[in-house]
A and B are shown apart, each in its own frame.
Chain A
Amino acid sequence: MEEAGGVAVGLTGTFENFNSDAEARLANALIQVGKFVQGESGCLLGHIKAAVFDENGRGITLNLIDMDNGVEHHGTLPPMDNARFDFMCAVLDVDEHELLHMMMDAIDQSGIEYRFDPSSVHHHHHDKDGHAVFDDDDHEHHHHDDRECHCRACEERRQEEADQDKKKESFWHKHPHQKDE
């Protein structure tokens, strides 16, 4: 894998109230990840796959290998209260950590009700407020001295929050000279 410059990451979990609408949203989540990969490496060389299945392992598989052709759908799954899912991505020339973040964000923003298996979310996950929550104390791997993730996605989120905070500054803050008038 190292010879090819490839990375392979995956997530597992459960979708709640899974139906055809959720399937379409999941397909869109794969597209979002595909766009990210394409932006990072110049082209999508690899594949992005998801499977959603019942307790017998029967269900649907979504497969994205070419952005022009879109997501391929295989199999059928009736509406389910709780459906298991596997979501994996094997591609070239992308940072593994950022890729995992993108996959988590894509599921989070899809609108599907979900729960990630803690074991599949490596060192941390983000709660609903976007804060990084570590699953264990071992974050040496990412050199998290301040218990914050410093990957690009998290840094961009912090920058956005900082920019929004700046916009909320008071009139007097922006125009201090007028206070004295």
Chain B
Amino acid sequence: MLPEQLHHHPSAVALGEFDPEAITGGKCDRGELTLEIEPARIVAVCRYLKATRRFNRLSSVTAVDRYPMEPRFEVVYHLHSLERNERIRLKCRAGGESPEIDSVTPVWRGADWYEREVFDLFGIRFRNHPNLTRILMPEDWQGHPLRKDFPTHGHKYGYQGE
């Protein structure tokens, strides 16, 4: 359901009309609109926003680790409409032993590397991704560095004292 405070946001209202079940929450903080989306519907929501609301550019895909909360990951999408100069942030929760979410590469090709980066650094798998391999870390790297339970100094070479 669309929260009360977002009833004057045309994009949020339109999305609420398109699929009332898709929005699980949201806020408008410091002038930035955030919508929480049901993870199973993310591709349909993105497709709708691109086709109908003209969000023709995907600025980035990233994730936030809320460890030890469960589901621990937030996958964050930043969409941008060049015509209306409007930005919107979508968030999906992912968690469990092997976190998974559908890939949005069929909607924007540019999501490819961003999703690979999230996979590489957070270990979230993207279903239907054309080439889900590590992108920044070496291919034989163990673990996912941006997880909060991964020490900044690493496991192998880092400072072992204290």
Q: Do A and B bind each other?
A: no
What is the interface of chain A, defined by CB distance below 8 A to chain B?
A: none
What is the interface of chain B, defined by CB distance below 8 A to chain A?
A: none
